[in-house]
Amino acid sequence: MTDKKEEESSKEENVATLDKHTIYGGVIVVLVALLTISVLTNGFGGCSHISGEECPDCPICDNGECEVCPEIDEYAGVPTISVTTGDLPAHGQDSAVATLIEVSDYQCPYCARFHLNTMVPLKESHVATGELKMYFRDFPLSFHAHALDAAVAARCANKQGKFWEYNNILFENQDAWGAAADVRETFSGYAGDLAMNVADFQSCYDAREHEASVNADMTSAATAGVQGTPGSFLVIPKDSVDAATFKAAVSAIQAQYGSGVKLYHDDENVIVFVGGAYPYEVFTALLDTIE
């Protein structure tokens, strides 16, 4: 009698043990299956990262439909600005990645120094190699007696296809014509030196044909925040630089040279304003970030 009870009790224990193993095994199988489904469907919603990249709060699902991960604004907090190149011809190749817009006064001594020590070397190192193109915008200050005359003369030279050559002559000889009693004759002499038609040059100069364009340049530059000369805008497409690297380069320049260097952007470009006769190395440090 006792042996029979013990046998029945043993069978019950075996059944109970078997049931536990079965349950545990089944749970594990179900959990593995659920985990696999979750991974494949991105949380049972059937979603995946459309961009192929992970980003915060993605994927965003709505009734099983996936939305593209939101783009991160790498220039959030950086002020925007709008700058234009004006109507004078570019110096350099159209395919150049970077653009440098110089805003200047031909009679400003700091502008002449900037031209000789920064712009000329940049022409040799970056314009000649196709990496950079340059534009010039007039900003003749009222207290420079012949600055407006020089700007008009340079535009008359442009009419004969000699703008950049004449631009260079004006800066190189600033002391000479700045002290001249009759700048018309001096400017006409520079036209002759460049094998221009002097009579046509003088006719253009006397008629002040391009004075309105000079004034328009001043208005445009002032709208962009220029208050003195020289001032320069370096414009580089955003997709040509790494945002973190570029911002770090600007910060390093600001730490070394001061707040005259300011970072801006627009929809497509990063833009650095350099307010003053900054050295060549400031611009090369920024241009070196181009990928």
Question: Within a 10 A sphere around the Cβ of 271, how many other Cβ atoms?
Answer: 22
Confidence at residue 91, expressed as pLDDT on a 0 to 100 scale: 98
Question: Within a 10 A sphere around the Cβ of 207, how many other Cβ atoms?
Answer: 11
Alpha carbon distance 138, 155 (integer Å):
10
Convert the pLDDT of each residue in 25-55 to its tens digit.
555 555 555 555 454 444 444 444 444 444 5
265 CB-contact burial (10 Å; exposed 0-12 / middle 13-18 / buried 19+):
buried
- Which tokens sit at 111? 């502008």
Q: Where are the alpha helices (DSSP H) in the chain?
A: 2-41, 109-114, 120-122, 147-159, 163-172, 174-178, 183-193, 198-207, 211-223, 243-257, 280-287
Could you tell me the pTM of the whole model? Answer: 0.77
Query: Are the C-beta atoms of 279 and 119 separated by less than 8 Å?
Result: no
Confidence at residue 181, expressed as pLDDT on a 0 to 100 scale: 84
Confidence at residue 16, expressed as pLDDT on a 0 to 100 scale: 44
Convert the pLDDT of each residue in 248-267 to its tens digit.
999 999 999 998 999 999 99
Q: Is pLDDT above 70 for 23?
A: no
Classify residue 240 by its DSSP letter: G
Convert the pLDDT of each residue in 118-175 to its tens digit.
999 999 999 999 999 999 999 999 999 999 999 999 999 999 999 999 999 999 999 9
- Which tokens sit at 170? 């004006």
What element of type H or E holds 174?
helix 174-178
Convert the pLDDT of each residue in 64-106 to its tens digit.
455 555 667 899 999 999 999 999 999 999 999 999 999 999 9
